Each structure stands twice: as structure tokens, then as C-alpha cells.
Structure 1
Amino acid sequence: MGEIAKITYAQTKQSVIVDELGMRQMQKRVYERRDSQYLLLKAPPASGKSRAFMFIALDKLYKQGLDKVIIAVPEMSIGGSFKKTNLMVNGFFSNWDPSDQYNLCTPGSDINQGKVDAFIRFLKQENQDRILICTHATLRFAYDKLIDKDFDGIFLGIDEFHHASANTDENRLGELVKGITEKSSAHIMALTGSYFRGDGIAVLDPEVENKFDSVTFSYYDQLSGYKYLHSITLSYEFYSGVYYESLEKSLHLDRKTIIHIPNVNSQESTGNKYEEVNHIIDIIGTIDHEDTITGVLYVKAKNSRMMKIIDLVDDRYPEDRVKRQQYLKEHSEDKNAVDIIIALNLAREGFDWPPCEQMLTIGYRGSLTEVVQIIGRATRDYEGKSDAFFTNIIVEPDATRGEVITAVNNLLKAITASLLMEQVLTPKWDFKAKAPKLQILDPESDEGKLIISDENTYEALLDSIRTDVDVIKANLHKNNAQLINKYLIPSIIMDKHPELSTHDVEAIRQHMVTDLVLGSAKPSDDNKEKGDNGSQDNDSGLDLGGEDSGDGTSNHGTGTKFLKFANGIVLDIKELEINLIDKINPFEKAYQILSKDIDKPTLRAIKDAIDKKKGRMKIYTDKECLFYWPNIKTFVKVHQRNPDRFSEDEYEAVLGAILYNIKIKQEARKNER
């Protein structure tokens, strides 16, 4: 398998050691900022962000006088991260004990009036229950019926905060954060593993972001402290034809693996997701039997092992899918319970399977946020797991090898910087002027409203329009606007959603045509609840026709998108002059990209290069180091840790930078001896 990079970490084990209150290193660092009205926590998966929130929330309730706590997550499954937790057993003063009544991460649509009513009732009425758990969608729909002052006295937590956007004209989550900070006394804590968006728009407006006290805990901090896992290997593999051959070569049956098949509307897909799963199982081996109680498939693998496989793609029988998901939830820590999970969009953001060693992701991912989230599924610390692997299998680009080398090199630098919690996409502030309110029909049914409000459903429908043969043909000729807008688009809507009324078809058609004309190709609210279709943070826009549209005749469109995406990363990472690729290894019709290992010194060099680029690196003299040394010792004594040179607190950052300089000088003197 072609290896782009192998990132190794020194294992100090500090990040997983708990103190007398039961807090890990990151949680303790956050708890020190508990008096802040606005907190922004940037930390990777498995670092304990949800528990850090619990500690802060309980302090807000019982020691700071706030009335109630609300935590909003992007999808229902992630709500489980905030389930009842015994914190007192490890020394904390209270347990996290939300009631079932106000856990709104339960089956049923988030536009369901019952959930919205429960949210408003919790907010406005006196009751014993002081904690509510809901989805982003429920929060947004409830906010539409409230005013900002209704959040007075509330501690609001927003998980996966990169779903917000500074472009508040088009992002309801960003709008409510801005409104609540400006017009209420609420406290807010934002949690995210990647503080950037795939479309390059900033998560928060600088004016709002400046109100937040920020704590950053990078992958390097986290994995350096792990007990078992010490390296991540990243690789891209390219193929021609169908992806099965490349998948077979990349699949290691001795690794716990999640396989993401491509979106059904993408060029990598064969168009039949069920048959793709069957073919993948054939690559693994032969089905022996299925456990009808758990839904686990027992497959006699080609290496003679009996392997346990969970199919999360098959959604034809909802009750079967639920039992498979329940089995995963109940046995997530058991390495013998599952060997391979096959999924479409599930098992990504917020999914927890600690034994997972490898992510095999088929298909172009146009969002760096999504790539980092996928990598995060394999980076949990787990006994016996020393290495984690991420392989993205995509269509071979129609480009020279030099262009591909440059593109992958850029992606590698961007991913590495992202793992260090750096903002790798320069925020775009060229928001278009808010258009006059158009007289557009709105759907009447819940199904129609969900299509408009749910980004993945909306994008899946747009993808169907993009790839429709009749639309592509019509787009090749002039004067076919009416044919496309008034006939072909509504026909596709009716074909994909036959349950819709004539009114709702016309309403959705109007919304889509308006977006296409304006060039946004997105619904008016970003990052809605994710289903199992579409892709998160798809920022490529809509381009009917052309090589990227996918007319079924070429496999190079997606590869071209890959090149455009990789070369469109605009942190000036190209100027960091870090060449991480050694050579290309051609074989048959596919080729892989190889590079040297990224060890601890190389990773530090990347960080230093970024710091120098951003003006954060200063060389301190011996005299300055000696002068500040007592201050460093005092800081360590008070905080029981070294100062962090990447801290948002300027004084701590200075002390951390001086300590770093001292260590560099000491290493240099040792080498001179």
C-alpha cells in the first residue's frame, strides 16, 4: 500500500493520566478557564471533550449560579457521549445526571413539533430537570420560536462547532451564536475537533471569536500522551476502472477496519450500494451465516479466519439496522465483537469504536474537515493497537504525475497542520450581499421541509440533478433553461421523492432553481443532520456539464476535483517548503504515492515552519531565558504542568516559548559534546 506519511509520537502518557478530580490533562486545562463566559475548546477525538464539558457545566450550575444546561450535538447518535456519568467516583463534587425526559436525541425527526415544544418548555418553565440534550437541528428550530433573551441564565454547549459559520446570512447556527452572545447573559462552550470549514468560510466572525477564551489541545498533545497508539499512517491510492481491485490490495484482514463505500451519486459508485457491499464481502471471503439477533455477518475469510462483519449500508429493513447499531454500541470496547464495519456515511463524526485500526475510504472527499473526522475514528488509544491507518482510494486523476505529487503533498501538509489544530483554510470574507427576499414557495409537509432544511438530503437531490443524463444533454445546448428548470428538475424531484404533493414539488423546485441561479448550490443553512446519503461540507458548488459533472463516460472528473481541492488549500502551505514525498510507484493502471516517515522532529519542524509563517516564533537570548526561568518554575508549581507555547493566553504562550527555547539550547549543547 502506498504510504504518504507515518506520523510518530513520543509517548509521555501525560494526556491520559487523571488528577485528584478525575480530570485528564486537557480537561484540567479547560477547567482552569471555567469562569470564562465563552469557551472554545479545540481538541481531537477521544481526548475527552464531552467530559470536559460536563465538568464545566456542573460548575456553572452549582458554583456559578446558572440555571440550566443545554448541549447540542450534530446528530442523534452523538448524544450518547453526554449520557449519565459517575464523576464523583473519581473525586469530582457531582455526577452528570441528565433525565431521560429531556434527552431529545431520540428517534424521530428534529423538526417534530414535540421536540421543539419540549425544548421551549424546558427553557421557560420551572422544573427539577436542569440538563437538556438535543441536536443542532432541534436547537435551530426552537431558536426560530424564541428571542435571544430567553437564553439568559443558560449554559449552552455546542458540540462539533465547525458546523457553525461566520456567514450568518446563510447559517442559522452561526446566527444564533452571534445573537445569543450579543443579546443575552448566557454562557457558551463550543467544542470541536477541527476549527475550520470545508468551504473556507470562518467558523466565527472575528468580532464574536474575540469574546471566546480558547483552549487548544492538538493531536500531537493527545497522542503523545497515549499508552498504546504511537503512529498514524496516511495514504492515498489511485485506480482506473472500478475500485474493487485497489480495495482488495489495501484491505488487511488482520486489522480492525471501517470501510466507507462511495456516495451513490458519486463517480466512484457503481450506483448500487447493496451490490457493492456484497462484492466487498466476496473480496473478504464467503458468508457462513448471519446472527439474526445481533445482525452480525459471520464470514469465512480467505485467510481461513471466521470474521465478524457489520453492514451499516443496508437500510431496507430499519429494525435490522437498529439492532446492528445497538450491537456496536454495546460492544464498542470489545475487540472480539467486530472485525470489519462497512458503512456509507455513518461511522464517521462522533462514532466510537476504539479497537478500529484502519479507515479505508473509497471516493473523493471534498472537505478537509471530513477527512480529519474520518482519521479520528481510528485514533482512539486501545490496548494492543500501536498503529492507525487512513487510506483514501480515489479515481486516478487525469493529470501528470508531477501535478499529482504537488496535490498530494499539499494535502499531506494540510492534514498534518489540521492534526496540529491549525487553521489551514484561510477564511473567506467575500460574502455576497444579502439578496432581496424572494417570493418562493415553502413546502407544507414535514417531508418537504426536511428536504429543504437537511443539507445531505438537499445535496443528494442536487447530485441527482448534476448527474442526470437528460440534464447534461440539455445543458450542452443554448436556450434550454426552461426545459431544465420547468420540466427536468421537477421530474427528478418527483422520481426521487414520490411521496411529495404537487405543491411541495414546486416549492422544492423553486428553492433549487433559485440556488442554482445564485450559484450557491446549497440550502440556506449549513451542516444539517446527516443521514446516510450525501457528504458533509461539500463545497464544490454546482457545475452542470463539463468534466466534473459525471456524465457516466469518464472516470477522471472526480480526480480533477481532487486536484482542484488539494491545490485550493490556501494557508500558503505550498510556501512552507516541506517536501514530504519521495517518489511515485507505478503499477499496472494504478499508482500509489510514497513518502518518507514523519517522525517527531519532522512534525515539530512542520509546526515551527507554520509558526514562523504566522510570526509566532521568536528566538530568546540566554539572558532572557535566565530572567524568565523563575516565572516558568512558578507557573509549573501553580498549574502542575509546563506552560503551553501555543496557549491562547499571551503570558503563558511567552513562558512556553521561552521554555521551548531553553530545551532547544540544551539539546544543541548536548550535541556539541
Structure 2
Amino acid sequence: MTSNIFEINYNSNEKSQNTNSLGMREMQALVYEKRDAQYLLIKAPPASGKSRALMFVALDKLINQGLKKVVIAVPERSIGKSFQSTHLQEYGFYSDWNIKQENNLTNRGSNTSKVSKFLDFINSEDIEDKILLCTHATLRFAYDKLYDTDFNDIVLAIDEFHHVSRDESSIIGNAVRSIMSNSSAHLIAMTGSYFRGDSVPILESRDEQKFENVTYTYYEQLEGYKHLKSFAMGYSFYRGRYTDAISEVLDTSKKTIIHIPNVNSGESTKDKYDEVDRILGHLGDAHYDKDTGIWYVTEKSGRVLKVADLVTEEEREATQEYIRNMSELEDLDIIIALGMAKEGFDWPYAEYALTIGYRNSLTEVVQIIGRVTRDSSNKTHAQFTNLIAQPDAQDDEVMFAVNNIMKAITASLLMESVLAPNFTFKRKDNDEQMGNGTDIFIKGLKEPSSERTKNIIENDMTDLKASILQDTQIQQAIAGGIDSKVINKQLIPRVIMTKYPDLSNSETEEVRQHIVAESVIQSAERETGMGGDQFLRMANKFIKIDEIAIDLIDEVNPFQRAYEMISKEIDAPVLRFIQDYIDGVKFVFTEEELVMLYPQIIQFKKENGRNPDKASSDQYEQRLAYALLRLDQLRRERDEKA
């Protein structure tokens, strides 16, 4: 098995799992306290109870606040079961959550019929027709046929809110902003990671300030678990093909989710079906059951494993149906997936996540971790292991990168956004146009002239970069020192035309210029075929992570022909320290400001009977809270020097 980058042990007090007189767990009660807010943002990890928190608040808005209907949007159908009808009164709440079967649009059916049902629900005068559940896609299509005012007096709840973006191409993002501006709708946003892997902000700051926030971290959630006591992460680096190394990091005694690499990554063999076959071969003698959609694999010991293949498209529906209906520990042992079984996927027995290949999205990493950190009686420990191609770098560079990424993941589990922003390249028409934030203006840059090129530039650049970097002629040209002009103006256009044969010459040139503007070729030699090198660059994308002055790497051990990392242990006090450290550097205070603010902090505490809250929607209270954290930090630093 791989060694761990860090291990977190939790002082289980079961506080997060205990319920109050209304049947609410700790996080749900915190959300319910802010039930009157028109705009509510819930940032909490998987299994903390966000779906039920939504039920409590939505029912209160329907029964006590005069709202007429509730619309819940989830990113994919499988997540819909979290919002199905639920008995709440037997646990102390004053109403049950009931959703009509015909209003659950996450069930099978055509997009057209679902959009039609959505519109019928919005326009219905039936006072009993109050709750509708749909996917993000259905919401997008239906919104195109509605006015913002059609959402008057409606509670719009969006699960996995990090799918929303302020980016102009985000239909849901635009819908959210427009509905907030032009209707009386109430908005409830829920997410386990309030930042996107592509670093695009979720909302404009002026919009975000309208929200009441409830932030509940992994630390708070896991500390209160009854069964799960510890969580650990590890990185193992290998040479050659990952399929030759995977048996050394697999532990078939644990309920496992294996995510194979994206076909465009350096770790991929480019044949995902062969990779699945090789993994099954490592496990034992495999036989497929068409009735269940499950592989039955006999190990050398004679033990039979039940394995779900979510990579192979054929019979996938049968496999998914089996997973949806399973309820017992012995129903499944291993899941092999590519793009599935990540966010919102609920298999509480899962205890080991093996992810092969570099992931450039920290959101994705946090979501995968969430699959194995649900409390369940079959596990006291959960594990996340990332198997990555060995970077072409010195050991100290790798150790630095691993330490930074580990700190970034820890901060992310504390619901802190640590990714540096991406840049958007735009045409510069005059000297008065200056870069602002993430916008960079370039003279002569061709703007997209069609919706087709606009969509490629905004949504397909990652895949296009991968195609360019994996092109044999371009790799040979880089290795041979060919002039970059030849690569930029001859070889790159050929790849673009091959990938998008429908583009005109002028459209191809528009896409080419944006690719070059993002400096693909300058980093191509380091990126080509090496997911490990991408891993190194990921470490440089985190904002001020170096300011957290903690060294968590303990030693390096051999693994295959490469190495693995072992870390010092991180326990609950260290997690608290990291949270306080991050909070302490969020605002910059001069000594004079701190001297001025300290009496105001004392006065606030005297008037309110508590310290100022950093999660407050009142900016003055927020600033007092961060000033207090900074004062505490300075006191600790002074005591350490004494």
C-alpha cells in the first residue's frame, strides 16, 4: 500500500451527528437559524446533511414565509435520490418532505418532456403542487422559455453550486444573476467546494455579498463522526505504465473506488477498455453477469469480489441500476470509473479512493475525497491515494510541490479557495484598455467571429491543448528545436483543422491565436506525456499557500522505480492551526489599525455577548473578527519568541 502524505485523526465527539428537538444535526441547525434569508449559501462537505438542511429551510419558507413553490436543481440524475420524500415529523420537525413522483424529473425521460413538465409546474395554480426536482440541464433549457418574473415567490435551490460561474458562457450563472436582479425569488445555493477547478469565480463579489453564509468544514463534520476516526492521503509515483504498478497500491480488503486517468492525460494508455481489463486481470479471474451488470472476480485466495465497471458504455445502465438499488455492505466491493462516481455519488461503505493520474482541478480532488469520508460502521479509517507518473524533476522540487498541494488540499477541506485565477485574453483596440483582474488585452488578437469559435475558446481549450501536445509532429518539432514560428503558424493550425474540420480558415486562425496567447508551446516540452510534471505546475497555482509555514513531508521511500511520500501526522489541533493561520492573513492590518480596532472588538463583545463572527454578512463585524484573529496570531508569535 502507498504511504501517506498526511493523516488526520479526529477527536470523535459525535456532535455533528447528534440531533436537536427538531431532528436537525449541528450543520442543519446552523442553516435553519438563517432560514429567513432571501439568499442563502451553504458550504459544507459531503454527508454533512445539506439535502435535509434544504428540506427544513424550504418547508419553512413554504409554510411560514409565504413562498409558493420550491425548485431543486442537481448536476446529475443520480444525486436526485438525496431529495426524495422524507419523513421528518417522526424526528421532531413540524412537517414531512413530500415530492410527487411526477415532479421528480431526475427519473428517466426525454429532455423535451422534462422541460415541458418544468414549465407546467411553474405555471400551475395547484396549491398542492409545491416541490419539483430536476437536473441543472433541465433548469437551463426551461429558463430559456421563461421570464425572470416567473420565479417570483419561488425557492430556487441549486445543489453543487460550484457548477455555476460568473463566466459569460455559464447559462446557469447568468440565470442566477438575472433571477436575483429581476424577481422576488429566494435562492439557496449548496456546495462542498466553493471554488472551481478552472479558477473561475462563482459569483461577482457584489452578488456574493447578498448571501447569508453558512460554512461547515470537513474538520467540524468528521470530528463528530461515530465510526470514522481518521483520514489519510498519499502520493505514489511510478515509471512505465500505471497498469504495471496498480497492484501495489490496491487493497482488495477495502471497499474501493478506482478512477482511471482521462484519455488525454499522460498517464492514460489511450485505451480505457484495455485498462479496465488489466485492472480486472490484476484482481483475479473475472466473469460478467449480464443480469446484474456486475463483474464477479475470484481472487487467488478463492474470495469473490463484486466489481462495477462504469467505464464501459455497454450495459452501463444495468450497472448503474444495480448500484442505485444496493443497500448492504456485501453488495459491492470495487467500482472502476472514469468520469463518474465523483460529486454527489453516495456509497457510504467506500473507504479507499485510488485515483490514477494528475487532476488539475482541486474541486475534483475534494469531491473524490468526499466519496470515502462518509461515516459508516464498516470503517474507522478512510484513504485517498493518487498514483502519478514520476515527474522529471529533482526530489526537492517534488517534495516542495507535494507539500504545497497537501497544504492546498487541507485548506480546501476547510472550505478555503486557494487557486490562482485563470486569465482571459481579449483584443486590445486602444491604449486605454488595461488589464483588470483576470482579463488581459493583446493587440491584434482576433476575437471569435462565430458562436462555434467562441464555444471552442471558452470550453474546449483544455482538450485542444492535449491534442496539440500529443501530436507526434509537434513533439518531434519541439525535440528538434524547430523555430516556434513554424510550430505556431503551421503545425498548430493543422491540429486545429483536424480536430475541428468544420472551421473556416479565419476561424482556425482565431482559435490558433488564443492557443498561442495561453503560451502552450512555451510549456509543451515540460507537459508532453508527463502528468507528473503537470502535478509540479499545479503546486504553483495556489494563492499565498507558502505563507502557511508548515513542512508536512517527513521522508521519501522507494516505490517501484520511483518513490512515494510519507508525512508527519496532522491531527485536529494542526487543522485548527491551519484554519486560524489562513484567517489571520486574509486581511492586512497595520499596527495602528489593530490598536484602533481592539477597543471596538471589546465593545462588540460586550454588546453582543460573543466575539465577532468572520462568517457574518456584516462587513464591519467581519473585519473585527479577522482583526481579532490577527491579534491572536501575533500573540502566539510573541509567545514563541519569548
CA distance in 1, matches of 2:154, 2:171: 19
Whether the aligned pair in 2 keeps the contact of 1:472 and 1:545 (CA below 8 Å) is no
Are 1:407 and 2:405 an aligned pair?
no
Q: How does 1:597-616 map to 2 (within 5 A)?
A: 597-615=569-587
Cα contact 2:105–2:134 (8 A) shared by 1:
yes
Tell me, yes or no, if structure 1 residue 324 matches structure 2 residue 283.
no
Aligned length: 604
| Aligned counterpart, 1:440 | 450
Q: Is 1:547 aligned with 2:525?
A: yes
Give the secondary structure class of the aligned counterpart of 1:15: coil
Moved more, 221-230 or 604-613: 604-613
Which of 294, 297, 300 is 1:296 aligned to?
294
Matching residue's letter, 2:163? H
Partners of 2:493 and 2:512 within 8 A in 1? no
Task: Go from structure 1 to structure 2 and tell me whether the alpha carbon gap of 1:421 and 1:480 turns closer, same or farther (over 3 Å shift).
Answer: closer
Deviations 1:39-90 (A, max 9, x none): 0000000101111111111111221111211111112222222122222222
Task: Verify the 8 A CA contact 2:196 2:202 in the aligned structure 1.
Answer: yes
Is 2:228–2:379's contact at 8 Å kept on the other side of the alignment?
yes
Deviations 1:615-664 (A, max 9, x none): 59999999x999959965xx8xxxxxxx89554366699899999999xx
From 434, 439, 443, the equivalent of 1:431 is 439
2:350 is equivalent to residue 356 of structure 1: yes
- How far the C-alpha of 1:603 sits from its partner, in A, is 1.5
Equivalent in the alignment of 2:146: 146
SS of residue paired to 1:228: coil
User: Aligned runs of 1:191-270 on 2, under 5 Å?
Assistant: 191-270=190-269
1:569 is aligned, of 539, 542, 565, to 542
Q: Is the 8 A contact 1:440 1:510 kept in 2?
A: no
Per the alignment, in what secondary structure is the counterpart of residue 50 of structure 1? helix
Structure 2 partner of 1:377: 371
Match of 2:472 among 469, 473, 489: 469
Superposed CA RMSD in Å reads 3.7
CA distance in 2, matches of 1:381, 1:520: 47
Q: From the superposition, tell whether residues 454 and 81 of structure 1 become closer, same or farther in structure 2 (CA, over 3 Å).
A: farther
Secondary structure at 2:397 match in 1: helix
Q: Is the CA contact (8 Å cut-off) linking 1:472 and 1:544 kept in structure 2?
A: no
Q: Distance in 2 between matches of 1:185 and 1:621?
A: 40
In the alignment, the residues of structure 1 paired with residue 470 and residue 536 of structure 2 have an alpha-carbon distance, to the nearest angstrom, of 20
Q: Residue 174 of structure 1 aligns with which residue?
A: 173
Residue 518 (str. 1) matches residue 539 (str. 2): no
| Cα contact 1:72–1:136 (8 A) shared by 2 | yes
Shift of 1:558: 1.7
For 2:452 and 2:229, locate their aligned partners in 1 and report how far apart those are by CA, in whole Å: 52
Match for residue 670 of structure 1?
none
**TM superposition shift of 1:374:** 0.5
Shift of 1:324: 1.2
Counterpart secondary structure, 1:14: coil
Question: Do the aligned partners of 1:38 and 1:211 also contact (CA within 8 Å) in 2?
Answer: yes
Query: Please, which of 299, 310, 313 is the counterpart of residue 312 of structure 1?
Result: 310
State the identity as a percent: 45
Is this contact kept in 2: 1:516–1:542, CA < 8 A? Answer: no
Per the alignment, do residues 55 and 454 of structure 1 end up closer, same or farther by CA in structure 2, a change over 3 Å counting?
A: farther
Q: Structure 1 residues 492, 660: closer, same or farther in 2, change over 3 A?
A: closer
Structure 1 contact 543–549 (Cα < 8 Å) conserved: no
Find the aligned partners of 2:616 and 2:53 in 1 and give their Cα distance.
18
Equivalent-residue separation in structure 2 for 1:379 and 1:416 (angstroms): 14
Query: Where does the alignment leave 5 or more consecutive residues of structure 1 unmatched?
Result: 444-448, 495-504, 522-539, 636-642, 666-673
**SS class of match (2:343):** coil
Give the superposition deviation at 1:453: 12
Instruction: From the superposition, tell whether residues 616 and 354 of structure 1 become closer, same or farther in structure 2 (CA, over 3 Å).
Output: farther
Mark the CA change 1:21 to 1:542 in structure 2 (over 3 Å): closer, same or farther: farther
2:587–2:626 contact (8 Å) kept in structure 1: no
CA 588–385 in structure 1, closer or farther in 2 if over 3 Å, else same: closer
CA pair 542-108 structure 1, distance change in 2 beyond 3 A: farther
Question: What secondary structure does 2:251 align onto?
Answer: coil
1:231–1:54 CA distance, 2 compared to 1 (3 A): same
Q: Summarize deviations over 1:74-132 as a string: whole Å, max 9, x none.
A: 122222221222222222222222223332224467xx433333323322343442222
Gaps of 5+ in 2: 423-436, 636-642
Distance apart, 1:419 and its partner CA:
0.8
Matched to 1:597, the amino acid is E
Deviating more after overlay: 62-71 vs 591-600: 62-71
User: What is the CA deviation profile of residues 212-234 of structure 1, one whole-angstrom value per residue up to 9, with x for unaligned ones?
Assistant: 00000100110111101121101
Give the letter aligned to residue 467 of structure 1.
Q
Equivalence map 1:389-400=2 (5 Å): 389-400=383-394
TM-score normalised per structure 2: 0.84
- Check the 8 A contact 1:441/1:506 in 2, yes or no: no
In 2, the alpha carbon distance for the partners of 1:382 and 1:510 equals 57
Q: Deviations over 1:316-348 (max 9, x none)?
A: x2xx211211111111x4211111111111111
- Distance in structure 1 (CA, Å) of the matches to 2:524 and 2:218: 39
SS in 2 for 1:166: coil
Partner of 1:532: none
CA distance in 1, matches of 2:151, 2:563: 55
* Structure 1 residues 377 and 306: CA distance shift in structure 2, 3 A: same
* Aligned-partner Cα distance in 2 for 1:520–1:80: 45
Q: Shift of residue 278 of structure 1?
A: 1.2
Q: SS of 1:307's equivalent?
A: strand
Is residue 155–residue 188 contact of structure 1 (8 Å, CA) maintained in 2? yes
Deviations 1:511-568 (A, max 9, x none): 77644533499xxxxxxxxxxxxxxxxxx99659822553xxxx4x322211111122
Does the Cα contact within 8 Å between 1:647 and 1:653 map onto a contact in 2? Answer: no
Q: 1:227 to 1:467 in 2, by over 3 A?
A: same
Q: Identify if the C-alpha distance between structure 1 residues 219 and 585 changes in structure 2 by more than 3 Å, giving closer, same or farther.
A: same
Deviations 1:413-434 (A, max 9, x none): 1111111112222556323579
CA offset at residue 582 of structure 1? 1.2
Q: Report matched runs for 1:581-620 at 5 Å.
A: 581-615=553-587
For 2:516 and 2:53, locate their aligned partners in 1 and report how far apart those are by CA, in whole Å. Answer: 37
Answer whether contact 2:310 2:316 (CA < 8 A) is retained.
Answer: yes
- For 1:454-533, what aligned pairs fall within 5 Å after superposition? 460=463, 463-464=466-467, 466-469=469-472, 478=485, 488-493=495-500, 505-506=502-503, 514-519=510-515
Partner of 2:284 in structure 1?
A: 285
Matches within 5 A, 1:118-157: 118-127=117-126, 128-157=128-157
In the alignment, which residue of structure 1 is the partner of 2:359? Answer: 365
> Does structure 1 retain, via aligned residues, the 8 Å contact 2:236–2:563?
yes
Q: 1:627 to 1:398 in 2, by over 3 A?
A: closer
Q: 3-state SS of the aligned residue for 2:273?
A: helix
SS at match of 2:565: strand
Distance 1:304 1:454, change over 3 A: farther
Distance 2:93 2:521 in 1: 55
Q: How far 1:460 sits from its partner (Å)?
A: 4.9
Contact kept, 8 Å, 2:527 with 2:533, in 1: the verdict is no
Q: What is the rounded CA distance, in whole Å, between the counterparts of 1:154 and 1:400 in structure 2? A: 57
